[in-house]
Homo-oligomer: A and B are copies of this chain.
Amino acid sequence: MESDRDAIWNIFRVVISPGDTYAFDPAMSRRDALAYWFRSGTWTYVAESKGKVVGTYILRANQPGLGSHVANAAFMVSPQARGTGVGRQMGEHSLEEARHFGFRSIQFNFVVSTNHTAIRLWESLGFDIIATVPGAFRHSVKGFVDVHIMFRNLVD
């Protein structure tokens, strides 16, 4: 829906503009942002509360072909909806969806180490930090900070 795209862009824009959680250029255009969020091979979701879009996430294979059984996902919550549990709800939903699509695990490639809220959330949903990439994010305020790679198995 076109109104969803407007809502997604509004969230995307305010989430990336501080330059503290995502690698995307804080000045990324609407066009590039939506092309990325809706690109081929990606499932795109929105979370609604009282008829308003308060969050959005994408789910996809982290690699092509022989690596396509590992999922990847990215999440954004509207600043007005922070602290309402929408991030957790989307996280839980993404695990169900990933299992439904037959993925065997989920990998996050780029969790900024200073994003403590996100790390706590993913750990509480069963993800482990499997690597720390030194200085891989250029934080707008803190300079070069580490990035975590996080992983969760979906099968026994």
Binding site for B on A (CB under 8 A): 19, 22-26, 28, 62-70, 104-105, 107, 109-110, 130-140, 144, 147, 149, 151, 153
| Shortest distance from the beta carbon of A141 to any chain B beta carbon, whole Å | 12
Task: Name, among A22, A66, A140, A151, the residue most crowded by chain B CB atoms within 10 Å (CB to CB).
Answer: A66
Can you add 5 more A-B contacts, CB < 8 Å, to A23-B64, A25-B64, A134-B153?
Answer: A23-B65, A26-B66, A62-B136, A105-B136, A134-B151
Main secondary structure of the interface of A (DSSP, over half): strand
B22 & A70 in contact (Cβ 8 Å cutoff): no
Question: Would B107 and A64 count as touching, CB distance under 8 A?
Answer: no
Complex CA gap A62/B23 in Å reads: 10
Q: Are A134 and B110 in contact (CB under 8 A)?
A: no
Contact A66 B134 (CB under 8 A): no
- Identify the closest chain B residue to A62 (Cβ): B136
Check B24–A105 contact: CB distance below 8 A: no
Q: Which of A19, A62, A105, A131 has the most CB of B within 10 A?
A: A131
Bound CA span A51–B70, Å: 41
A151 to chain B, nearest CB (A): 6
Please measure, in the bound complex, the distance between the C-alpha atom of A136 and the C-alpha atom of B153, giving whole angstroms: 10
